[in-house]
Amino acid sequence: MSEPAPPFAGAHFRVLIGETEVGFCHVSRLQVADGAVASKEADAVRHPASVVLRRALSQDKALYRWRQRTVAGKEEPQVITLHQCEAGSDRILNTWLLHGCRPVRWSGPEFDALSGDLLWEEIEVRWERLEWR
């Protein structure tokens, strides 16, 4: 009898928005709750839900601009791909696709003269369909 596989760690992951890899340090929990509907695609669920993505602040304004375009009525739904990777390698263990993603909130940095902490930006994205591959 073989030994059970060890549980996966959550520190090794990659996030793509569309075809672009974006360096996030935190992805909130993926949730599917009551009211979710199984989709025709295998392992897919339709349920409007959201996820929060966090990264260190830089001069890259792409997330902020994506939210601003959405507020202005220029819908640009994206597919967000979350790859869980094996520690120490690029081997993908699990992949989740979030279809129909639209930013619903952007949060910028909190300044504190008494702290030397990093500054963060967050984007909350509502998705329409989750697929686990």
Domain covering 13-30+48-132 in this structure, CATH number:
2.30.110.20
Q: Please tell me the predicted confidence (pLDDT) of residue 81.
A: 98
Domain ranges for the chain, please list them. 13-30+48-132
d(CA 54, CA 124): 9
Q: Dihedrals φ, ψ of 35, to 5°?
A: 95, -10
The per-residue pLDDT for 18 is 96
Q: What is the pLDDT along the chain (133 residues), one digit of tens a residue?
A: 667 666 677 789 999 999 999 999 999 999 887 665 665 665 556 667 899 999 999 999 999 999 999 999 998 999 999 999 998 888 999 999 999 999 999 999 999 999 989 999 999 999 998 999 9
- Asked if residue 111 lies in contact with residue 39, where contact means CB atoms within 8 angstroms, the answer is no
Task: Indicate whether this model's pTM tops 0.85.
Answer: no
